[in-house]
Amino acid sequence: MNKQLFLYQLCDSSFPTGSFSHSYGFETYMEDGTIHDAKSFNKWLDCYLHQQLCYTDGLAICIVFKAVVAGDFTRICEISQYLEAQCLAKETRIANQKIGQQFLTLGSTLIQHEYIKTYQRLITTGELVAHPAIVFALLSYAAKATIDETLQAFLMNNITTLIQNAVRGVPLGQTEAQQILLSYQTKIDGTIATIKTLPQNAFGAVAPGLEIAQMRHETLFARNFMS
């Protein structure tokens, strides 16, 4: 298996995880006028990358990789539970569950690993709830990708999806969207460097404003996205 091509497959827009249905709170900022163009969306996306993905999903992937290497599946279960518990916004929590489940259901048919099977069994019995960061880390490890390659692919996938959702929502022009996407290559590399230096007790240090916007989305009068 070519690990790079496998990661491309997981991150391709045709891989059916349902992530195109979610704004992760930026629609709330659209509703109140905070996000209204490319510049204002880019500002939100910077915050989402550096203040949420970095300290939750990104750090979780790093911890999971180390746990797999150490043969510590209990630690993987703990991080999966922490990801579920620290996500205070109901819609975002449900979005992660659905995307994680779809990732796991399809991904487990493409590549096999002992920990993927065990994680899937615990999801099936209701002992754990699937999370996309955990699933992505396990699939990527099984494909023999490195932590850096996994983080780069996962973060870029999230950023690409949100930008394409903003094309439909804000809306952004396709040229603007590609310019924003290009600018995130350097930002993602910087975020990976930060993640790798974070202590594990930094896990879940999310900016309250982002979480509040995700909570408020549930009560918007009209919505184009599920979260």
| CATH for 106 | 1.10.4190.10
* Model pTM above 0.85: yes
Whether 70 maps to a domain, the answer reads: yes
Q: For residue 19, which amino acid is it? A: S
Residue 14 inside a domain? The answer is no
* Structural domain total, the chain: 1
141-193 residue pLDDT tens:
999 999 999 999 999 999 999 999 999 989 999 999 999 999 999 999 999 99
- What phi and psi values does residue 2 have, to the nearest 5 degrees? -85, 110
pLDDT of 1 reads 84
**Is 84 within the bounds of a domain?**
yes
> Percent of the chain beyond pLDDT 90?
86
Does residue 224 form part of some domain? no
User: Where in the sequence is the domain holding 132, given as residue range(s)?
Assistant: 3-9+21-219
* Residues 6+ positions from 194 with CB-CB distance below 8 Å: 50, 54
Mean pLDDT of 57-61: 97
Any domain includes 227: no
